[in-house]
Amino acid sequence: MKKKILITGGAGYIGSKLVTKLINLGHEVTVLDVLKFSSKPLNHLFGKKNFHFIKGDVRQKKIIEKLVKKNEFIIPLAALVGAPLCEKNKKEANEVNLYSINHLMKIIKKKNKKVIYLTTNSGYGVGAKNKYCDEKSPLNPISLYGRTKVQAEKIVMNYKNSIGFRLATVFGYSYRMRTDLLVNNFVYKSLHEKKLTLFEPHFRRNYIHIDDVVDAIIYSIKNFNILKSEVYNLGLSSANLTKYMLAKKIQKKLKFLKIRIVHNKKDPDQRDYYVSNKKIEKKGFKAQVLIENGIDELIKVFSYSDEKIINNY
């Protein structure tokens, strides 16, 4: 069954890949995006009859009301993403990541629509002794980004027709490329600088390929009633890796890579945890793309394209 789907922030890293797949499946997709970065990630879609684009801001209440009414599913991806960007633009981060979600949810409840919301699992495990996290583990986000997303998730999950995904660190190519994400960043630096400097190399994180994120969202559209009213960790279960293990996997592909460990420096991102993805797996979705395949993909992308590094770890 073809669905009418509204995606805010659809020109971004996750959005542009998700929208492309939904359009190819024949769904009627509307994207609302202020185009903070570029419209290029959507260029290949402008000719499609089932694709509708509105350049606009999620803080514009009238536009949101009109668009919610017309669609069955709402996937609010628009956000200021990442701790550094939110620190630089605190007011905007609160407005976009939190207040606009609050307003959106009021309209969604009135109109009885379905919501799929993505947040980060980055608040898990910070300062905790027990490094094993499932959906019941406390979230203690330390950054403004983390706090706005956790609060917004609470608001979204107050409504029965919502599904929440807490994402592991995403990796892989997208039409809007992000080189600030850990795996993407490590592969980029390994190729271009031929060395990786690691601090707190034992920190363990969970990862997921962007195609698996897209497939999980499509799975949740198809199986909405089975999944609704719950939050799920979403990661690749074979990839709960320390930064050192990840660097060694990259070194296996790029033999010239030198790994240097620095002991007197702290990672600003204090995530260190083992994440369980059993809950979503029991409901029938399991991430598939191996980290090795993602590394192969990224090596090709960064070897042949002119992608630039955005952020350092």
Ligand X SMILES: NC(=O)c1ccc[n+]([C@@H]2O[C@H](COP(=O)([O-])OP(=O)(O)OC[C@H]3O[C@@H](n4cnc5c(N)ncnc54)[C@H](O)[C@@H]3O)[C@@H](O)[C@H]2O)c1
Binding mask 97-126 for ligand X (x = CB under 6 A): ---------------------xxx------
If binding is defined by CB under 6 A, does position 133 make contact with ligand X?
no
What minimum distance in Å lies between the beta carbon of 169 and ligand X? Answer: 6
* Contact region with ligand X (CB under 6 A), list: 43-51, 165-173, 185-193, 287-295: 165-173
Given a contact cutoff of 8 angstroms between Cβ atoms, the answer to whether 313 and 181 are in contact is no
Nearer to ligand X by Cβ, of 79 and 236: the residue is 79
* Contact region with ligand X (CB under 6 A), list: 27-35, 199-207, 239-247, 279-287: 27-35
If binding is defined by CB under 6 A, does position 79 make contact with ligand X?
yes
Within 10 Å of residue 58's Cβ, how many Cβ atoms? 25
What is the C-alpha separation between 17 and 211, in angstroms, rounded? 8
If binding is defined by CB under 6 A, does position 148 make contact with ligand X?
no
Given a contact cutoff of 8 angstroms between Cβ atoms, the answer to whether 211 and 291 are in contact is no
* Contact region with ligand X (CB under 6 A), list: 22-30, 44-52, 129-137, 175-183: 175-183
What is the C-alpha separation between 98 and 59, in angstroms, rounded? 10
3-state secondary structure of 190: helix
CA-nearest of 128, 82, 14 to 312 is: 82
Site for ligand X in 28-47 (CB under 6 A): 32-37
Helices (H) and strands (E) in the chain, counts: 12, 14
If binding is defined by CB under 6 A, does position 58 make contact with ligand X?
yes
| Residue 312: C-alpha distances to residues 64, 147, 196, 280, 289 (Å) | 36, 22, 11, 32, 25
CA-nearest of 117, 124, 148 to 240 is: 124
Of all residues in the shown chain, the one whose CB is closest to ligand X is 12
- With tokens 């204090």, the residue in question is 270
What minimum distance in Å lies between the beta carbon of 88 and ligand X? Answer: 13
If binding is defined by CB under 6 A, does position 96 make contact with ligand X?
yes
Q: Taking each helix axis from N to C terminus, what angle separates 100-111 and 144-157, rounded to the nearest 10 degrees?
A: 10
Nearer to ligand X by Cβ, of 143 and 190: the residue is 143
* Contact region with ligand X (CB under 6 A), list: 20-28, 56-64, 154-162, 265-273: 56-64
If binding is defined by CB under 6 A, does position 12 make contact with ligand X?
yes
| Residue 273: C-alpha distances to residues 121, 128, 129, 153, 158 (Å) | 10, 9, 10, 21, 27
* Contact region with ligand X (CB under 6 A), list: 153-161, 166-174, 269-277, 301-309: 166-174
Burial code (b: 16+ CB inside 10 Å, e: under 16) for 171-209 equals bbbbbbbbbbbbbbbbbbbbbeeeebbbbbbebbbbbbb
> How far is C-alpha 247 from the geometric centre of its chain's CA atoms?
22
What is the C-alpha separation between 7 and 27, in angstroms, rounded? 12
Binding-site residue total for ligand X (CB under 6 A)?
31
* Contact region with ligand X (CB under 6 A), list: 71-79, 124-132, 268-276, 302-310: 71-79
Nearer to ligand X by Cβ, of 257 and 277: the residue is 277
If binding is defined by CB under 6 A, does position 176 make contact with ligand X?
yes
| Residue 132: C-alpha distances to residues 101, 168, 199, 241 (Å) | 30, 14, 22, 13
If binding is defined by CB under 6 A, does position 13 make contact with ligand X?
yes
Among the listed residues 5, 7, 14, 246, the single contact to ligand X using CB under 6 A? 14
What minimum distance in Å lies between the beta carbon of 264 and ligand X? Answer: 29
Residues that bind ligand X (CB under 6 A): 8-9, 11-15, 32-37, 57-59, 77-79, 81, 96, 118-120, 149, 167, 169-170, 176, 178, 181
